[in-house]
């Protein structure tokens, strides 16, 4: 990662860095993040325009006061791996006990699945959320069908909050209900003690 380019890491792990998106990430975003495999549990492949709009929303989302989405890059060579971040849950159909709370999420290019990058990136984001932003409780959401994602949640030490599960009409029946996990700052601190 080039130093002094305005894209220094917000957080670093052993193998990954979380940083703001660069315009040069857009090509990799289209090539790796807008595929049938990458979008299987996220509503399917979009048009080039829809994919670019998603990229621009995520790229513009980082705020030093509230968090947002960050690019994940491999620390040793700067390769774009995907995205990770956190922010308030804005899904209108989410239950009252969930809407407005903080949510962590991630997405990796499929050729990087199964190597622990999502878990490492999410741990970096949790550290920023809990230590820098003072978040008390972090939630994460996925579908029953997205086993890879809920397994990451479990590796992070998150626990099921099944009483908050809900159906999201924006997704097909096989992606419902939305499965909710949670992790408190205290549990996160105890996990790493």
For the cut 60, the answer to whether the pLDDT of residue 143 exceeds it is yes
Looking at residue 132, the DSSP 8-state letter turns out to be I
The dihedral sign for the CA sequence 43, 67, 12, 159 = negative
Q: pLDDT at position 32, please?
A: 64
- pLDDT for residue 39 is more than 60: yes
Sign of dihedral through CA atoms 9, 121, 137, 93?
positive
User: What pTM did the predictor assign?
Assistant: 0.87
CB 89 within 8 A of CB 98: yes
Residue 105, classified by CB atoms within 10 Å of its CB into exposed (0-12), middle (13-18) or buried (19+), is buried
What strands, in cross-sheet order, belong to the sheet with 68-74?
11-12, 16-19, 68-74, 80-88, 102-108, 137-143, 178-184, 159-160
Q: Could you report the per-residue pLDDT of 62-90, keeping only the tens digit for each? A: 888 788 899 999 999 999 899 999 999 98
Go through the domains of the chain in sequence order and give each one's CATH number: 11-191 (3.40.630.30)
* 107-131 confidence digits (pLDDT tens): 888 898 889 999 999 999 999 999 9
Instruction: Give 69's strand partners.
Output: 85
pLDDT at 64 (0 to 100): 82
């Amino acid at each position: 990662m080039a130093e002094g380019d305005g894209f220094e890491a917000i957080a670093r792990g052993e193998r990954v860095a979380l940083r703001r998106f660069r315009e040069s990430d857009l090509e990799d975003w289209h090539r790796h993040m807008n595929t049938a495999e990458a979008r299987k549990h996220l509503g399917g492949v979009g048009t080039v325009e829809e994919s670019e709009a998603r990229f621009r929303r995520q790229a513009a989302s980082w705020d030093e006061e509230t968090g947002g989405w960050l690019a994940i890059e491999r620390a040793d060579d700067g390769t774009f791996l995907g995205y990770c971040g956190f922010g308030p849950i804005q899904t209108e159909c989410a239950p009252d006990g969930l809407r407005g709370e903080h949510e962590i999420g991630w997405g990796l290019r499929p050729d990087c699945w199964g190597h622990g990058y999502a878990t490492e990136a999410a741990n970096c984001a949790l550290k920023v959320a809990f230590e820098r932003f003072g978040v008390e409780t972090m939630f994460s959401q996925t579908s029953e069908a997205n086993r890879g994602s809920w397994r990451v949640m479990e590796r992070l030490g998150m626990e099921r909050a099944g009483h908050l599960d809900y159906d999201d009409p924006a997704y097909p029946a096989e992606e419902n209900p939305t499965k909710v996990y949670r992790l408190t700052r205290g549990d996160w601190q105890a996990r790493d003690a």
